[in-house]
């Protein structure tokens, strides 16, 4: 290929913006209706657990998500109080990996007024739409928000956060992965 063709191709890509290129690179797709089997299959493909996937109804999901990006997460202490791990409300989730690694049951964290984990948990359902059993006791609860259509971001975020929680020997962490309701993922 001639150098002029290569330069023209690069120029065209730059003019068309990075968004389509990045969406293709990260495997981000248009949302579609998913079912229990397709969500479990995708979770396995992304490399994270399938026995902790939960959902909720549409109204509750939008309230629970409350403007957060996907994938993202919320962390709660053993009393169900929301722990602020971001430096500010508009900060991205880049700080989460280090925060999960450093969670310790003897550390006191800054909590904020936010719906209590146990109140939120009562809104969650299993993938069949059934109520969940009472959560296991833990030092911390992490709720990770994900969708099937966010592709590779699930591998680079959800999977890693779940693994970091399992590897943390300073405390007991229960992780739930919350996907959109009615299996619109």
The answer to whether residues 79 and 117 belong to one domain is yes
The answer to whether residues 92 and 170 belong to one domain is yes
User: What count of other Cβ atoms lies within 10 Å of the Cβ of residue 124?
Assistant: 19
The answer to whether residues 12 and 64 belong to one domain is no
User: Are the beta carbons of 140 and 103 closer than 8 angstroms?
Assistant: yes
The answer to whether residues 116 and 76 belong to one domain is yes
Phi-psi category of 45—alpha, beta or left, where left has phi over 0 and alpha has psi -120 to 50? alpha
Higher-confidence residue: 55 or 91? 55
Distance CA(92)–CA(67), nearest Å, equals: 12
**pLDDT classification of 17: cutoffs 50, 70, 90:** very low
**Is pLDDT of 139 > 90?**
yes
Please give the residue range of the domain that contains residue 19.
1-30
The answer to whether residues 80 and 170 belong to one domain is yes
The answer to whether residues 78 and 35 belong to one domain is yes
User: How many domains, in total, are found in the chain?
Assistant: 2
The answer to whether residues 12 and 45 belong to one domain is no
The answer to whether residues 51 and 24 belong to one domain is no
The answer to whether residues 57 and 20 belong to one domain is no
The answer to whether residues 23 and 97 belong to one domain is no
Distance CA(150)–CA(154), nearest Å, equals: 7
Instruction: Give the per-residue pLDDT at 15.
Output: 47
The answer to whether residues 95 and 124 belong to one domain is yes
Give this prediction's pTM.
0.77
Nearest 5°: the CA angle 155, 144, 139 is: 120
Average pLDDT over residues 30-58: 80
The answer to whether residues 91 and 155 belong to one domain is yes
Residue-wise DSSP of 25-64:
HHT-----B--HHHHHHHHHHHT--STTEEEE-HHHHHHH
């Amino acid at each position: 290929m001639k150098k002029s063709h290569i330069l023209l191709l690069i120029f065209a890509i730059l003019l068309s913006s990075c968004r389509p290129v990045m969406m293709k690179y990260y495997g981000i797709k248009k949302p579609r209706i998913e079912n229990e089997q397709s969500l479990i299959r995708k979770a396995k493909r992304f490399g994270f657990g399938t026995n902790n996937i939960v959902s909720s109804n549409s109204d509750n999901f939008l309230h629970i998500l409350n403007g957060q990006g996907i994938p993202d997460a919320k962390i709660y202490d053993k009393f169900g109080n929301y722990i602020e791990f971001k430096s500010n409300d508009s900060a991205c989730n880049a700080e989460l990996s280090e925060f999960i690694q450093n969670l310790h049951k003897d550390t006191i964290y800054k909590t904020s007024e936010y719906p209590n984990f146990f109140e939120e948990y009562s809104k969650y359902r299993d993938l069949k739409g059934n109520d969940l059993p009472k959560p296991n006791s833990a030092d911390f609860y992490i709720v990770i928000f994900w969708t099937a259509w966010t592709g590779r971001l699930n591998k680079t975020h959800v999977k890693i956060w779940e693994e970091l929680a399992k590897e943390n020997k300073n405390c007991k962490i229960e992780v739930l992965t919350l996907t959109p309701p009615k299996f619109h993922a």
